[in-house]
Structure 1
Amino acid sequence: MTDLERKLYRIIYNMSRFRKNPTMEDLKRKTGKNEETIRKAVKNLVSHKELTWDKDKKEWSFK
């Protein structure tokens, strides 16, 4: 896991604990990265099964 992936994982995890899914604006502000870079990192986390999106509950699940 890269530093950016680890940082995004922690941001998503911590915000999800309080039932608030982070927006792209939240992620851009907290990481200082652009949308394309963030999307690529989140896709890597999903492909490595670190994160999964539950469509029914509309929330993230964690490994």
Structure 2
Amino acid sequence: MTDLERKLYQIIYNMSRFRKNPSIEDLKRKTGQDELTIRKAVKNLISQKELEWNKEKQEWRFK
């Protein structure tokens, strides 16, 4: 897991604990990265099965 992936994981995890899904704008502001870079890192986390999106509940699941 890269530093950016670890940072995104922590941000998503911490915000999800309070029932708030972070927007792409939240992630851009907190990481200082552009949208494309963030999307690639989140896709990597999903492909590594670190994150999973639950469509029914509209929330993240964590490993």
User: TM bucket by the smaller chain?
Assistant: over 0.9
Task: Name the TM-score, length of structure 2 as normaliser.
Answer: 1.00
Q: Counterpart of 1:62?
A: 62
**Structure 2 residue matching 1:60: 3-state secondary structure:** strand
Report how many aligned residue pairs link the two structures: 63
In 1, the alpha carbon distance for the partners of 2:44 and 2:23 equals: 18
4+ residue segments displaced more than 6 Å: none
In 2, the alpha carbon distance for the partners of 1:44 and 1:7 equals: 13
**Percent identity of equivalent pairs:** 79
Structure 1 residue runs of 5 or longer lacking an equivalent are none
Task: Name the TM-score, length of structure 1 as normaliser.
Answer: 1.00
Structure 2 residue runs of 5 or longer lacking an equivalent are none
